[in-house]
Amino acid sequence: MTYLYSTKASLFSLLLVFVLIGCEETTKVPTEIIVSGTLMEDTHWKSKTMYIIDQLVTVPSGVTLTIDAGTIIKANPGEATTTSMLVIAKGGKINAQGTAENPIIFTSINDDIDLKNGKESSLSSSDVGLWGGVIILGDAPVSLQNGDDETFYTGLDPNAKASYYGGDNSEDNSGILEYVSIRHGGIFIGTGSESNGLTLCGVGNKTKINQIEIYANQDDGIEIFGGTVNISNLLVHACQDDGIDFDEGYTGTVDHFIVELGPDSGSGIEIYGGKGVSAGAFSLMNGLVDTKNAPNKTPLTVDENAVGRILNVNVDNGDVNEPLQSGSIQINVETNGAGQVDKLGFSWTKIKS
C-alpha cells in the first residue's frame, strides 16, 4: 500500500509547547493524501483530508475501509491498466456513512469542488469518463455459464484473487454505502469493459446500500451482477449507457429510485436474467424513469431470461406520466395506487430537488 503526501501539507508538523511539566506534541492533518495499491490494514479516511485515488486501490479480504461523512475522494485520470478506481474485494468491507448534510463524494481530480470553502463543482453532466468508479465484489450467488459459481470482473486482473466474485452466501456483508455521490466516472478499464459509477457483483443482502447518487457516468449508472443486495433511495442522472442494469440473475430489490436520462443516455433500465441456473427473481419498486430530455430513448430493455416483478414504476416523457411496461411475460408489472417518487428525498444530491 502506498501513501504519497502532497506538498500542500506535511504529514507531521510538530509544535513544541514548553510548559512547566515538559512539552506537548501536536500533529497537523494533511490536506491531501494520494492513495494507491492494496490497503494492508483497516484504514480510516477523515473528512478534513482530501483523498486522491491513483490507479487501482483495493480493499482486500479481512480489511475495512471507513470513510467519514463529508469526505471528498478524487481520482486521477488513466484508463485500462492505469485506471483509478476503488475495488472492495470479496471479504473486504467499506463503511462509508455520509449524511444528508455531509455526503461522501467520489469524483474526478478535475473537479474543483471544495465544500469546506463553499465551492460547488463547476463540472457538468457532459463531463464523463474522467476516472473509473466504485466496484464491490461479494460472496453471494450469481448465475453464470457452465454452472460456475465464481468469476472475475472483466477489466480486473484475472490472475488476482481480489478480482473474483460469487459464492453461496446470500447474507454476505460487504459493509455500508449511505449518502454517497459518485460522479464523472466510467472510463475504459479493459477489453469489453467500461466502468460503471457503482458496480455490485455477487453482493449479499447484509450489505446496506441507501441514498446513492450516480451522476454523469460514461457507462451505466449502476450495474448489478447477481447477488441478493437490496438498494433503496437511488438517483441516477445523465449516464451515457443505462441508468440501472441487472445481470447474472440478480435477486434483490431496488426500492425508491429515479433515473433521469440525458440526450446521450442509453435505456433507462436494462435487465438480463441469469446465464445459468437462475436463483430467483428481482424486484423493482416505487420508481420513475424520466425521459423528458431523451425523447427517443427506451425506458426499459429486457431479455428473455429476465424474471421478476415491477411495482409502481412510471415513465415521464414530459407529456404523459404512465406505468412502465415490460413486454415480458416473465416480469409481472403491477401498480397499487401508491404516490409518485418524491425527488425532495434527494435534496442532498448534486441534482437536488
Could you report the per-residue pLDDT of 259-293, keeping only the tens digit for each?
999 999 999 999 999 988 766 899 999 999 999 99
Measured over the CA atoms of residue 36, residue 40, residue 44 and residue 49, the dihedral's sign is: negative
Whole-number pLDDT of residue 89: 98
User: Mind listing the pLDDT tens digit of every residue in the chain (353 residues)?
Assistant: 555 434 333 333 333 333 333 444 456 778 999 999 999 999 999 999 999 999 999 999 999 999 999 999 999 999 999 999 999 999 999 999 999 999 999 999 999 998 877 889 999 999 999 999 999 999 999 999 888 999 999 999 999 999 999 999 999 999 999 999 999 999 999 877 779 999 999 999 999 999 999 999 999 999 999 999 999 999 999 999 999 999 999 999 999 999 999 999 999 999 999 988 766 899 999 999 999 998 888 999 999 889 999 999 999 998 888 999 887 878 998 888 776 788 888 999 987 64
Residue 235, pLDDT score: 98
Strands 188-190 and 193-194: antiparallel
Helix, strand, coil percent content, the chain, rounded in steps of 5: 5, 40, 55
Predicted confidence at residue 13, as pLDDT, reads 34
In this prediction, residue 352 carries a pLDDT of: 67
**Distance, CA of 222 to CA of 285 (rounded, Å):** 16
Nearest-CA neighbor of 306 among 229, 243, 240, 224?
Answer: 224
Which ranges in 222-304 belong to alpha helices (H)? none
Please give the grid coordinates belonging to residue 286.
416505487
Query: Which residue in 69, 53, 116, 65 sits closest to 91, CA to CA?
Result: 65
- Its pTM stands at 0.91
- The answer to whether 227 and 194 are in contact (CB under 8 A) is no
Say how far apart CA 147 and CA 280 lie, in whole Å.
15
Taking alpha carbons only, the member of 53, 60, 67 closest to residue 96 is 67
Question: In terms of CATH architecture, what is 43-346?
Answer: 3 Solenoid (2.160)
Beta strands in 170-252 (DSSP E): 175-183, 188-190, 193-194, 198-201, 208-215, 222-225, 230-237, 244-247
33 alpha carbon, distance to own chain's centre: 22
- Domain ranges (residues) in the chain: 43-346
DSSP 3-state of 346: helix
